Structure 1
Amino acid sequence: MNPEDLQRLVTLAMPYGKYKGRLIADLPGQYLNWFARVGFPPGEIGRLLALMQELDHNGLSALLDPLRKR
């Protein structure tokens, strides 16, 4: 994991789909889990969705709170 990826989670919006425009860090867990089941998209967005799913699944989403306040 790249440290900049954590910052991207709180600044990059979902570019498409049901939650288009919502920050990746704010996507609901069930949506992230759906991607985990069916497969993450290729490229950066897929990598970030997988990282957010891992954080959410393990109850570590609060680690992003200090980055939101920047």
Structure 2
Amino acid sequence: MLSGNKAALIELAKYKMPFGKYKDQYLVDIPEYYYTWFKQKGFPKGKLGNMMQQMYDIKINGLEELIYTIRREF
């Protein structure tokens, strides 16, 4: 794994939602349906939107445990 990808995964694992219903919760702890709604309506622009898109992809592929492991170890 490239070091840039590693840093991005660590950041994704530790990132918390900055607004709304799930404010201050880790992105990985937010239910999949929330990401599905954003997928249909459009993710926010910028870094948060990119991270939410990545988390959507992780969740629909059942890879949350990878993010939990990264969060525990880093």
- Please provide the CA RMSD for this pair: 1.5
CA contact (8 A) 1:10 1:24 kept: yes
In structure 2, the partner of 1:54 is 57
| Larger-Rg structure | 2
1:67 aligns with 2:70: yes
| Residue segments in structure 2 that go unaligned for 5+ positions in a row | none
Distance of aligned partners of 1:60 and 1:47 in 2 relative to their CA distance in 1, 3 Å threshold: same
Paired with 1:68 and 1:34, the residues of 2 have a C-alpha distance of 25
In structure 1, the partner of 2:21 is 18
- Output the TM-score relative to the length of structure 1: 0.88
- Output the TM-score relative to the length of structure 2: 0.84
Percent same amino acid among aligned pairs?
Answer: 36
| Residue segments in structure 1 that go unaligned for 5+ positions in a row | none
| Structure 1 ranges of 4+ moved more than 4 A | none
